[in-house]
Structure 1
Protein backbone atom coordinates (compact mmCIF):
# COMPACT_ATOMS: atom_id res chain seq x y z
CA UNK A 1 0.00 0.00 0.00
CA UNK A 2 2.86 2.40 0.73
CA UNK A 3 4.23 2.05 -2.79
CA UNK A 4 0.91 3.18 -4.28
CA UNK A 5 1.05 6.52 -2.54
CA UNK A 6 4.22 8.65 -2.74
CA UNK A 7 3.23 10.56 0.40
CA UNK A 8 3.79 7.39 2.45
CA UNK A 9 7.29 6.45 1.39
CA UNK A 10 10.55 6.08 3.27
CA UNK A 11 10.97 5.30 6.94
CA UNK A 12 7.83 7.20 7.96
CA UNK A 13 5.82 5.42 5.29
CA UNK A 14 6.96 1.98 6.41
CA UNK A 15 6.13 2.71 10.04
CA UNK A 16 2.78 4.30 9.11
CA UNK A 17 1.88 1.33 6.90
CA UNK A 18 2.72 -1.14 9.66
CA UNK A 19 0.67 0.85 12.17
CA UNK A 20 -2.23 1.14 9.72
CA UNK A 21 -2.27 -2.61 9.07
CA UNK A 22 -2.25 -3.33 12.82
CA UNK A 23 -5.03 -0.81 13.43
CA UNK A 24 -7.10 -2.13 10.52
CA UNK A 25 -6.80 -5.71 11.77
CA UNK A 26 -7.77 -4.51 15.25
CA UNK A 27 -10.65 -2.41 13.82
CA UNK A 28 -9.23 0.66 15.54
CA UNK A 29 -8.16 2.80 12.56
CA UNK A 30 -10.10 5.85 13.76
CA UNK A 31 -9.06 5.47 17.40
CA UNK A 32 -5.38 5.30 16.45
CA UNK A 33 -5.78 8.34 14.19
CA UNK A 34 -7.43 10.25 17.04
CA UNK A 35 -4.58 9.28 19.40
CA UNK A 36 -1.93 10.32 16.86
CA UNK A 37 -3.74 13.63 16.30
CA UNK A 38 -3.89 14.18 20.07
CA UNK A 39 -0.15 13.47 20.37
CA UNK A 40 0.60 15.81 17.43
CA UNK A 41 -1.43 18.56 19.15
CA UNK A 42 0.52 17.97 22.36
CA UNK A 43 3.78 18.28 20.43
CA UNK A 44 2.63 21.51 18.80
CA UNK A 45 1.79 22.98 22.19
CA UNK A 46 4.86 21.91 24.14
CA UNK A 47 8.42 22.97 23.30
CA UNK A 48 9.66 20.61 26.04
CA UNK A 49 7.91 17.59 24.53
CA UNK A 50 9.18 18.60 21.09
CA UNK A 51 12.73 18.74 22.47
CA UNK A 52 12.30 15.28 24.01
CA UNK A 53 11.10 13.87 20.68
CA UNK A 54 13.73 15.52 18.48
CA UNK A 55 16.87 15.72 20.61
CA UNK A 56 19.46 12.96 20.17
CA UNK A 57 20.83 13.87 23.62
CA UNK A 58 18.21 11.72 25.36
CA UNK A 59 18.75 7.96 25.36
CA UNK A 60 16.01 5.68 24.09
CA UNK A 61 15.43 4.60 27.68
CA UNK A 62 15.04 8.22 28.90
CA UNK A 63 12.72 9.02 26.00
CA UNK A 64 10.72 5.87 26.66
CA UNK A 65 10.18 6.64 30.36
CA UNK A 66 9.22 10.26 29.70
CA UNK A 67 6.96 9.28 26.79
CA UNK A 68 5.19 6.62 28.86
CA UNK A 69 4.39 9.23 31.52
CA UNK A 70 3.15 11.76 28.93
CA UNK A 71 0.97 9.17 27.16
CA UNK A 72 -0.50 7.89 30.44
CA UNK A 73 -1.40 11.44 31.48
CA UNK A 74 -2.96 12.13 28.05
CA UNK A 75 -4.94 8.88 28.09
CA UNK A 76 -3.23 7.50 24.99
CA UNK A 77 -2.89 3.76 25.21
CA UNK A 78 -3.36 0.57 23.25
CA UNK A 79 -1.83 0.21 19.81
CA UNK A 80 -0.80 3.87 19.61
CA UNK A 81 1.15 3.80 22.87
CA UNK A 82 2.84 0.53 21.91
CA UNK A 83 3.67 1.93 18.49
CA UNK A 84 5.19 5.10 19.95
CA UNK A 85 7.22 2.90 22.32
CA UNK A 86 8.56 0.95 19.32
CA UNK A 87 9.44 4.20 17.53
CA UNK A 88 11.27 5.31 20.67
CA UNK A 89 13.13 2.01 21.13
CA UNK A 90 14.20 2.12 17.48
CA UNK A 91 15.39 5.76 17.85
CA UNK A 92 12.82 6.93 15.27
CA UNK A 93 10.56 9.07 17.48
CA UNK A 94 11.87 12.16 15.68
CA UNK A 95 9.91 10.99 12.59
CA UNK A 96 6.52 11.11 14.35
CA UNK A 97 5.30 14.14 12.37
CA UNK A 98 5.92 12.37 9.06
CA UNK A 99 4.50 9.10 10.38
CA UNK A 100 1.33 10.89 11.53
CA UNK A 101 0.93 12.56 8.14
CA UNK A 102 1.52 9.27 6.28
CA UNK A 103 -0.93 7.44 8.56
CA UNK A 104 -3.59 10.10 7.89
CA UNK A 105 -3.03 9.65 4.13
CA UNK A 106 -3.49 5.88 4.47
CA UNK A 107 -6.69 6.34 6.49
CA UNK A 108 -8.04 8.80 3.92
CA UNK A 109 -7.30 6.39 1.08
CA UNK A 110 -8.87 3.51 3.04
CA UNK A 111 -12.05 5.55 3.58
CA UNK A 112 -12.14 6.87 0.02
CA UNK A 113 -11.42 10.41 1.15
CA UNK A 114 -9.21 13.01 -0.44
CA UNK A 115 -7.03 15.33 1.62
CA UNK A 116 -6.56 18.99 0.81
CA UNK A 117 -3.96 21.33 2.27
CA UNK A 118 -5.55 24.73 2.79
CA UNK A 119 -3.65 27.88 3.74
CA UNK A 120 -5.67 30.83 5.03
CA UNK A 121 -4.78 34.23 6.46
CA UNK A 122 -6.89 33.69 9.58
CA UNK A 123 -8.81 30.74 11.04
CA UNK A 124 -11.99 29.75 9.19
CA UNK A 125 -15.35 29.52 10.91
CA UNK A 126 -17.12 26.16 10.98
CA UNK A 127 -19.58 27.51 8.40
CA UNK A 128 -16.75 28.42 6.00
CA UNK A 129 -14.98 25.10 6.60
CA UNK A 130 -18.18 23.22 5.75
CA UNK A 131 -18.69 25.34 2.62
CA UNK A 132 -15.11 24.63 1.51
CA UNK A 133 -15.49 20.88 2.16
CA UNK A 134 -18.75 20.90 0.21
CA UNK A 135 -17.19 22.74 -2.74
CA UNK A 136 -14.22 20.35 -2.82
CA UNK A 137 -16.53 17.33 -2.58
CA UNK A 138 -18.40 18.64 -5.62
CA UNK A 139 -15.12 18.91 -7.55
CA UNK A 140 -13.62 15.56 -6.47
CA UNK A 141 -16.69 13.42 -5.88
CA UNK A 142 -15.11 12.32 -2.57
CA UNK A 143 -15.28 13.47 1.01
CA UNK A 144 -12.37 15.80 1.59
CA UNK A 145 -10.39 16.03 4.81
CA UNK A 146 -8.79 19.44 5.31
CA UNK A 147 -5.34 20.21 6.71
CA UNK A 148 -5.75 23.90 7.49
CA UNK A 149 -2.68 26.08 8.04
CA UNK A 150 -2.94 29.71 9.10
CA UNK A 151 -0.41 32.04 7.42
CA UNK A 152 -1.11 35.75 7.87
CA UNK A 153 1.48 36.49 5.16
CA UNK A 154 -1.02 35.58 2.43
CA UNK A 155 -3.03 38.65 3.58
CA UNK A 156 -6.40 37.25 2.51
CA UNK A 157 -8.05 34.60 0.36
CA UNK A 158 -6.80 31.04 0.43
CA UNK A 159 -4.49 28.55 -1.18
CA UNK A 160 -5.85 25.03 -1.75
CA UNK A 161 -3.65 22.06 -2.70
CA UNK A 162 -5.52 18.89 -3.61
CA UNK A 163 -3.34 16.16 -5.03
CA UNK A 164 -1.39 17.65 -7.93
CA UNK A 165 -3.79 20.59 -8.29
CA UNK A 166 -3.34 23.94 -6.60
CA UNK A 167 -5.59 26.97 -6.55
CA UNK A 168 -4.00 30.15 -5.21
CA UNK A 169 -6.53 32.90 -4.65
CA UNK A 170 -4.49 34.64 -1.99
CA UNK A 171 -4.36 38.41 -1.93
CA UNK A 172 -0.55 38.26 -1.75
CA UNK A 173 -0.38 36.41 -5.10
CA UNK A 174 -2.84 38.83 -6.72
CA UNK A 175 -0.84 41.83 -5.48
CA UNK A 176 2.40 40.27 -6.77
CA UNK A 177 0.76 39.72 -10.16
CA UNK A 178 -0.30 43.38 -10.31
CA UNK A 179 3.17 44.49 -9.22
CA UNK A 180 4.77 42.33 -11.93
CA UNK A 181 2.35 43.62 -14.60
CA UNK A 182 3.09 47.24 -13.62
CA UNK A 183 6.87 46.61 -13.90
CA UNK A 184 6.41 45.19 -17.40
CA UNK A 185 4.17 48.10 -18.44
CA UNK A 186 6.53 50.75 -17.04
Structure 2
Protein backbone atom coordinates (compact mmCIF):
# COMPACT_ATOMS: atom_id res chain seq x y z
CA UNK A 1 0.00 0.00 0.00
CA UNK A 2 1.14 3.54 -0.69
CA UNK A 3 1.03 4.55 2.98
CA UNK A 4 3.40 1.73 3.89
CA UNK A 5 5.91 2.82 1.24
CA UNK A 6 5.61 6.46 2.27
CA UNK A 7 5.98 5.60 5.95
CA UNK A 8 9.07 3.51 5.25
CA UNK A 9 10.69 6.32 3.30
CA UNK A 10 9.72 8.92 5.91
CA UNK A 11 10.82 7.02 9.02
CA UNK A 12 13.57 9.54 9.77
CA UNK A 13 11.94 12.25 11.93
CA UNK A 14 13.25 15.81 11.84
CA UNK A 15 12.23 18.86 13.83
CA UNK A 16 9.61 21.01 12.06
CA UNK A 17 11.17 23.88 10.23
CA UNK A 18 9.96 26.81 8.19
CA UNK A 19 9.57 26.09 4.48
CA UNK A 20 9.66 29.23 2.28
CA UNK A 21 6.80 29.64 -0.14
CA UNK A 22 7.41 29.15 -3.85
CA UNK A 23 8.60 32.23 -5.73
CA UNK A 24 5.28 32.39 -7.42
CA UNK A 25 2.54 30.25 -5.91
CA UNK A 26 -0.33 28.61 -7.73
CA UNK A 27 -2.80 30.92 -5.97
CA UNK A 28 -1.09 33.96 -7.52
CA UNK A 29 -1.13 32.35 -10.95
CA UNK A 30 -4.86 31.73 -10.62
CA UNK A 31 -5.58 35.41 -10.06
CA UNK A 32 -3.79 36.52 -13.20
CA UNK A 33 -5.09 33.86 -15.59
CA UNK A 34 -8.31 35.39 -16.91
CA UNK A 35 -8.83 33.01 -19.84
CA UNK A 36 -8.43 29.93 -17.67
CA UNK A 37 -10.67 31.01 -14.82
CA UNK A 38 -12.33 28.12 -12.93
CA UNK A 39 -16.00 27.65 -13.93
CA UNK A 40 -17.36 27.93 -10.37
CA UNK A 41 -16.17 29.54 -7.14
CA UNK A 42 -14.95 27.17 -4.44
CA UNK A 43 -14.26 27.89 -0.79
CA UNK A 44 -11.83 26.62 1.80
CA UNK A 45 -8.10 26.04 1.47
CA UNK A 46 -8.59 22.91 -0.62
CA UNK A 47 -10.94 24.84 -2.90
CA UNK A 48 -8.36 27.60 -3.35
CA UNK A 49 -5.66 25.14 -4.31
CA UNK A 50 -8.00 23.16 -6.56
CA UNK A 51 -8.93 26.37 -8.39
CA UNK A 52 -5.27 27.30 -8.75
CA UNK A 53 -4.43 23.85 -10.15
CA UNK A 54 -7.35 24.12 -12.59
CA UNK A 55 -5.97 27.43 -13.86
CA UNK A 56 -2.46 26.00 -14.26
CA UNK A 57 -3.77 22.89 -16.04
CA UNK A 58 -5.99 24.96 -18.36
CA UNK A 59 -3.04 27.18 -19.33
CA UNK A 60 -0.92 24.12 -20.18
CA UNK A 61 -3.76 22.19 -21.88
CA UNK A 62 -3.47 19.34 -19.38
CA UNK A 63 -6.91 19.45 -17.74
CA UNK A 64 -7.94 15.95 -18.78
CA UNK A 65 -4.68 14.29 -17.77
CA UNK A 66 -4.57 16.10 -14.42
CA UNK A 67 -8.22 15.22 -13.77
CA UNK A 68 -7.51 11.53 -14.43
CA UNK A 69 -4.44 11.63 -12.20
CA UNK A 70 -6.43 13.13 -9.33
CA UNK A 71 -9.14 10.51 -9.77
CA UNK A 72 -6.49 7.84 -9.36
CA UNK A 73 -5.11 9.64 -6.31
CA UNK A 74 -8.57 9.97 -4.78
CA UNK A 75 -9.07 6.22 -5.16
CA UNK A 76 -5.72 5.68 -3.42
CA UNK A 77 -6.81 7.81 -0.45
CA UNK A 78 -9.96 5.71 -0.11
CA UNK A 79 -8.03 2.43 -0.19
CA UNK A 80 -5.17 3.53 2.04
CA UNK A 81 -6.67 5.21 5.10
CA UNK A 82 -3.28 5.81 6.75
CA UNK A 83 -2.00 7.97 3.91
CA UNK A 84 -3.73 11.17 5.03
CA UNK A 85 -2.23 10.93 8.51
CA UNK A 86 1.28 10.49 7.15
CA UNK A 87 0.96 13.51 4.86
CA UNK A 88 -0.34 15.67 7.70
CA UNK A 89 2.65 14.89 9.96
CA UNK A 90 4.30 18.19 11.02
CA UNK A 91 7.75 16.59 11.32
CA UNK A 92 8.34 15.93 7.61
CA UNK A 93 11.53 17.50 6.29
CA UNK A 94 12.40 18.43 2.72
CA UNK A 95 13.75 14.97 1.84
CA UNK A 96 10.68 13.25 3.32
CA UNK A 97 8.40 15.44 1.23
CA UNK A 98 10.38 14.80 -1.92
CA UNK A 99 10.04 11.06 -1.38
CA UNK A 100 6.32 11.37 -0.69
CA UNK A 101 5.82 13.31 -3.93
CA UNK A 102 7.67 10.59 -5.86
CA UNK A 103 5.34 7.95 -4.40
CA UNK A 104 2.25 10.05 -5.12
CA UNK A 105 3.27 10.46 -8.74
CA UNK A 106 3.57 6.70 -9.08
CA UNK A 107 0.03 6.40 -7.76
CA UNK A 108 -1.38 8.97 -10.19
CA UNK A 109 0.30 7.56 -13.27
CA UNK A 110 0.85 11.15 -14.43
CA UNK A 111 4.28 12.10 -15.82
CA UNK A 112 3.53 15.72 -16.68
CA UNK A 113 5.06 18.79 -15.08
CA UNK A 114 1.81 20.54 -14.09
CA UNK A 115 0.81 18.13 -11.34
CA UNK A 116 4.41 17.56 -10.26
CA UNK A 117 4.95 21.30 -9.79
CA UNK A 118 1.67 21.54 -7.92
CA UNK A 119 2.61 18.76 -5.51
CA UNK A 120 5.98 20.41 -4.92
CA UNK A 121 4.21 23.70 -4.15
CA UNK A 122 1.96 21.97 -1.61
CA UNK A 123 5.00 20.38 0.01
CA UNK A 124 6.98 23.63 0.17
CA UNK A 125 4.05 25.36 1.85
CA UNK A 126 3.35 22.47 4.25
CA UNK A 127 -0.05 21.87 2.65
CA UNK A 128 0.14 18.21 1.59
CA UNK A 129 -2.63 17.54 4.11
CA UNK A 130 -5.19 19.32 1.86
CA UNK A 131 -4.47 17.08 -1.14
CA UNK A 132 -7.38 14.70 -0.56
CA UNK A 133 -9.78 17.66 -0.47
CA UNK A 134 -8.15 19.11 -3.59
CA UNK A 135 -8.91 15.88 -5.46
CA UNK A 136 -12.60 16.17 -4.60
CA UNK A 137 -12.84 19.89 -5.35
CA UNK A 138 -11.02 19.52 -8.67
CA UNK A 139 -13.65 16.97 -9.68
CA UNK A 140 -16.34 19.58 -8.99
CA UNK A 141 -14.56 22.06 -11.27
CA UNK A 142 -14.22 19.51 -14.05
CA UNK A 143 -17.92 18.61 -13.82
CA UNK A 144 -18.87 22.27 -14.05
CA UNK A 145 -16.58 22.81 -17.05
CA UNK A 146 -18.28 19.90 -18.84
CA UNK A 147 -21.75 21.30 -18.15
CA UNK A 148 -22.56 18.60 -15.61
CA UNK A 149 -24.82 18.93 -12.59
CA UNK A 150 -23.75 16.58 -9.81
CA UNK A 151 -26.37 14.54 -8.00
CA UNK A 152 -25.16 12.73 -4.89
CA UNK A 153 -27.31 9.79 -3.80
CA UNK A 154 -26.56 8.50 -0.31
CA UNK A 155 -28.01 5.16 0.75
CA UNK A 156 -27.50 2.79 3.68
CA UNK A 157 -26.39 0.03 1.29
CA UNK A 158 -25.16 0.13 -2.32
CA UNK A 159 -27.93 0.69 -4.87
CA UNK A 160 -28.12 -1.46 -7.97
CA UNK A 161 -27.55 0.02 -11.43
CA UNK A 162 -31.26 -0.15 -12.32
CA UNK A 163 -32.29 1.95 -9.33
CA UNK A 164 -29.57 4.53 -10.06
CA UNK A 165 -30.73 4.79 -13.68
CA UNK A 166 -34.34 5.34 -12.56
CA UNK A 167 -33.30 8.11 -10.17
CA UNK A 168 -31.09 9.69 -12.83
CA UNK A 169 -33.95 9.68 -15.35
CA UNK A 170 -36.42 11.17 -12.86
CA UNK A 171 -34.16 13.98 -11.65
CA UNK A 172 -32.75 14.63 -15.13
CA UNK A 173 -36.19 15.84 -16.27
CA UNK A 174 -36.69 18.11 -13.27
CA UNK A 175 -36.17 21.85 -12.87
CA UNK A 176 -33.03 21.20 -10.80
CA UNK A 177 -31.07 20.29 -13.94
CA UNK A 178 -30.86 23.27 -16.26
CA UNK A 179 -31.42 23.06 -19.98
CA UNK A 180 -28.41 21.72 -21.85
CA UNK A 181 -26.87 20.36 -18.65
CA UNK A 182 -25.85 16.76 -18.01
CA UNK A 183 -26.57 14.96 -14.78
CA UNK A 184 -23.63 13.24 -13.10
CA UNK A 185 -24.70 10.66 -10.51
CA UNK A 186 -22.37 10.10 -7.54
CA UNK A 187 -23.52 7.20 -5.33
CA UNK A 188 -22.36 7.12 -1.71
CA UNK A 189 -22.96 4.64 1.10
CA UNK A 190 -23.58 5.66 4.72
CA UNK A 191 -25.00 2.93 7.01
CA UNK A 192 -25.84 5.56 9.64
CA UNK A 193 -28.91 6.73 7.67
CA UNK A 194 -30.37 3.21 8.32
CA UNK A 195 -32.46 3.19 5.17
CA UNK A 196 -34.08 5.40 2.55
CA UNK A 197 -32.11 7.97 0.56
CA UNK A 198 -30.53 11.40 0.76
CA UNK A 199 -30.46 13.12 -2.62
CA UNK A 200 -28.34 16.24 -3.16
CA UNK A 201 -28.57 18.23 -6.39
CA UNK A 202 -26.66 21.49 -6.50
CA UNK A 203 -27.57 23.37 -3.34
CA UNK A 204 -30.78 21.40 -2.74
CA UNK A 205 -31.00 18.41 -0.39
CA UNK A 206 -33.91 15.97 -0.25
CA UNK A 207 -33.64 13.89 2.93
CA UNK A 208 -35.76 10.74 2.72
CA UNK A 209 -33.61 8.74 5.11
CA UNK A 210 -34.96 6.58 7.92
CA UNK A 211 -32.68 8.32 10.39
CA UNK A 212 -34.20 11.69 9.46
CA UNK A 213 -37.73 10.39 9.86
CA UNK A 214 -36.85 8.89 13.25
CA UNK A 215 -35.32 12.18 14.39
CA UNK A 216 -38.50 14.05 13.38
CA UNK A 217 -40.67 11.48 15.16
CA UNK A 218 -38.56 11.68 18.31
CA UNK A 219 -38.81 15.47 18.30
CA UNK A 220 -42.56 15.31 17.84
CA UNK A 221 -42.89 12.93 20.77
CA UNK A 222 -40.57 15.02 22.90
CA UNK A 223 -42.53 18.22 22.18
CA UNK A 224 -45.84 16.49 22.90
CA UNK A 225 -44.88 15.04 26.28
Normalised by the length of structure 2, the TM-score is 0.70
Structure with max Cα Rg = 2
Residues 124 and 3 (structure 1 numbering): CA distance in 2 closer, same or farther, change over 3 Å? Answer: closer
CA distance in 2, matches of 1:133, 1:12: 29
Establish whether residue 151 from structure 1 lines up as the match of residue 190 from structure 2: yes
What runs of 5+ residues in structure 2 fail to find an aligned partner? 1-36
CA RMSD of aligned residues (A): 2.5
Match of 1:21 in 2: 55
Give the SS at the match of 1:169.
Answer: strand
Structure-2 change in CA distance of 1:73 and 1:167 (3 Å): closer
Is 2:73 the counterpart of 1:33?
Answer: no
Q: 1:84 to 1:131 in 2, by over 3 A?
A: farther
Cα distance, 1:166 vs. partner? 0.9
Map of 1:46 onto structure 2: 80
User: 1:166 aligned to 205, 211, 221, which one?
Assistant: 205
Within the alignment, does 1:118 sit opposite 2:153 as a pair? yes
SS of residue matched to 2:173: helix
Structure 1: which 5+ runs fail to align?
Answer: none
CA contact (8 A) 1:33 1:104 kept: yes
Answer yes or no: is 1:81 the counterpart of 2:116.
yes
**Mapped contact 1:12–1:98 kept (Cα < 8 A):** yes
Greater share of residues in helix: 1
* Whole-angstrom distance in 2 between the partners of 1:179 and 1:9: 35
CA drift of 1:36 comes to 0.7
Q: How many residues align?
A: 184
Task: Give, in whole Å, the separation in 2 of the partners of 1:60 and 1:118.
Answer: 41
The CA deviation at 1:62 is: 0.5
Give distance in 2, aligned partners of 1:123 and 1:10.
Answer: 30
Mean CA deviation greater in 124-133 or 104-113: 124-133
What secondary structure sits across from 1:168 in the alignment? strand
The residue that corresponds to 1:98 in the other structure is: 133
